[in-house]
Amino acid sequence: MPLEGLRVVDAATILAGPLCAQILGDYGADVIKVEHPSRGDSMRGHGHSKDDVPLWWKEIARNKRTVALDLKAPEGAEVFRRLAATADVVIENFRPGTLERWGLGPDVLHELNPGLVLVRLTGFGQTGPYASRPGFGTLAEAMSGFAELTGAADGPPTLPAFGLADSICGIGASSAVMMALWHRERTGRGQVVDMNILQPIMTAVGPAPTVYQQLGIIEERHGNRSTNNAPRNTYRTADGKWVAVSTSAQRIAERVMELVGHPEVIDEPWFQTGYGRVQHVEQLDAYVGDWIAERTREEVLSAFTAAGAAIGPVYNAQDLVEDEHVRETGMLLEVPDEDLGPVLQHDVMWRLTESPGRIRFTGRRLGQDTDEVLSELGYDDQQLDQMRKNEVIR
């Protein structure tokens, strides 16, 4: 795997940092998950459980050895320093100043390990008026403009039902790590990656700040429609199911209108651009919606596919699990787990033909690998027993 030989210390909690570390582990890095001995990562308490086994944890903590260590205790901080000295990457998401207060700041860690890449994930960054505020993905989803643009025009701003901002940040952080490692490859020097949750989702929302600065326009909510092209919406089929149609490409828009029986609009001057079609969205939506409403979902999907038009069914989890393309291409796969038996998980996110990643093992129990990892650092059984007695490790 491409990252074999790379050591990553994951001292982050909740989602963005752990997801970044999961991605690195999926591609071969030796990821050591550091958690508080009694509380563990709060991700262990997120989402559904089966027989008291947290299901999300099994995926977000896969390919990670787990160490239970109290970083606030002087002994624990010393263990962490020794661990960071062996690492290529450390990922943390404490509030700015916390690592410094424990004697684990960048200056200390880089003195021990000049090549270390220290990834600092926070809500708002290490500097600025909001730096000391607690930051979560929900706040970033609200402040980025995402919530303001999401939902019906006459409804409230709408937040996603999942960790959108955190996930975008975690995926982005994995890219930042590789850039920092490439810099180290050329210079021998590590660095600090200052990553906040807000900025990546701001980028994903699009050029609204540029539009406002240049034109004074503030975009408004408009449901599932787009300001960039039309028709684009979700439509209900005759059997009570839903499909999503997109016409981002001009030729696709033409095929859709031919399919639904209104080829006359294709030659209209306004139809020649996505923005022009948006000005006639009510008309186009009615043409497409009425045609779809008279047919079952399978009939609609078959007709659109035959016509080379872009369409997708609106899936729930069961639909996704049963989809033939998802299963046959391995987007989801069953992996063995010591607590649950075979467990279905998302496969690694991207396919590499020469050095593919893989799931080696699922998320482990709190402190399951503490003795193994600390023994690799030179601690003997007597020292481990004493630290366990002092509740520094578990």
Q: Are 34 and 168 in a shared domain?
A: yes
Q: Indicate whether 46 belongs to any domain.
A: yes
Q: H-helix or E-strand containing 287?
A: helix 281-293
Determine which one of 166, 337, 347, 369 is catalytic.
166
Q: Answer yes or no: 290 catalytic.
A: no
Per-residue pLDDT at 78? 98
What pLDDT, on the 0 to 100 scale, is given for residue 226?
A: 92
Amino acid at 284: L
Range list of β-strands (E), 69-207: 89-92, 117-122, 191-196
Quick one: which of 66, 90, 67 has its CA closest to 361? 66
Q: Is residue 253 part of a domain?
A: yes
The angle at the Cα of 224, spanning 223 to 230, to the nearest 5 degrees, equals 120
Cα separation, 364 vs 63, in Å, equals 9
For residue range 257-283, what is the model confidence (pLDDT) as tens digits?
Answer: 999 999 999 999 999 999 999 999 999
Which of 288, 313, 338 finishes a domain?
Answer: 313
Residue 198 to residues 34, 131, 172: CA-CA distances in angstroms?
25, 12, 12
pLDDT at site 394: 95
- Please state the domain count of the chain: 2
Whether residue 251 lies inside any domain: the answer is yes
Q: Do residues 187 and 118 share a domain?
A: yes
**Residue 130, class by beta-carbon neighbours within 10 Å (0-12 exposed, 13-18 middle, 19+ buried)?**
middle
Domain assignment present for residue 349? The answer is: yes
- Positions of the chain with pLDDT under 70: none
Q: Tell me, what's the pLDDT at 261?
A: 97
- Which of 267, 287, 313 corresponds to the end of one domain? 313
pLDDT in the model for residue 393: 97
Query: How many CA atoms lie less than 13 Å away from 359 in the CB half-sphere?
Result: 24
CATH code of the domain in which 186 resides: 3.40.50.10540
Look up tokens 């996505």; give the residue: 274
How is residue 235 written in tokens?
Answer: 């439509």
Q: Is residue 211 part of a domain?
A: no
Same domain (yes/no): 156, 279: no
- Could you tell me the CA-to-CA distances from 59 to 1, 245, 362, 374 in Å, in that order? 19, 32, 6, 24
- Residue 133: what residue type? R
Query: Which pLDDT tens digit goes with each residue over 128-167?
Result: 999 999 999 999 999 999 999 999 999 999 999 999 999 9
Taking the C-alpha atoms of residue 129 and residue 126, their distance in angstroms, rounded to an integer, is: 10
Q: Cα 31 from chain centroid?
A: 18
Domain that holds residue 31: 7-203+328-389
CA 17 to chain centre: 10
Are both 367 and 280 inside the same structural domain?
A: no
